[in-house]
Amino acid sequence: MTASDLVLVDSSGWLEYLTAGPKADAFGAYINDESPILVPAIVLYEVRKILLLRSTKTEADLFVSQALRQQVANLDDKIALSAASLSIRHQLPMADAIIYATALAYDAELVTSDAHFAGVSNVTLL
């Protein structure tokens, strides 16, 4: 990976990293790298919600602080329409389809541990 590579770590990756899950080191290699990270707005929602439910507000706030220092991608019409087609083509749930469409729109490598992405191109499955 070079410093110009854009990486999108999905919600599962952020949660593994932040909660010291079994794959924390693997995701940490991407999150702690100098390469830019793309953070879709839906990832902000998913990770903050889960941290608020399972951890503390402080942990949730720390994630938001770290994520907002990255490149945040808002959901726009182009990504939404692409996500609808990708959801059908790859049988992805809505949030996963939006995340995947965002990665494609920004030409970013999607890094995840979510089994929904098995066999999907431009995805690194950890």
Domain-by-domain residue ranges, the chain? 7-125
Average pLDDT, the chain: 95
Q: Report how far residue 23's alpha carbon sits from residue 62's, in angstroms, rounded to the nearest whole number.
A: 20
Over residues 7-25, the pLDDT tens digits come to 999 999 999 999 999 999 9
pLDDT given at position 34: 83
Give residues with Cβ within 8 angstroms of 32, minimum separation 6. none
7-125 CATH fold: Rossmann fold (3.40.50)
Over residues 21-78, the pLDDT tens digits come to 999 999 999 999 888 999 999 999 999 999 999 999 999 999 999 999 999 999 999 9
pLDDT given at position 5: 87
**Residue carrying structure tokens 């940490």:** 28
Predicted TM-score (pTM) of the model is 0.93
Give residues with Cβ within 8 angstroms of 91, minimum separation 6. 116
Over residues 97-126, the pLDDT tens digits come to 999 999 999 999 999 999 999 999 999 999
Q: How far is CA 83 from CA 4, 17, 52, 79, 91, in A?
A: 25, 26, 27, 6, 11
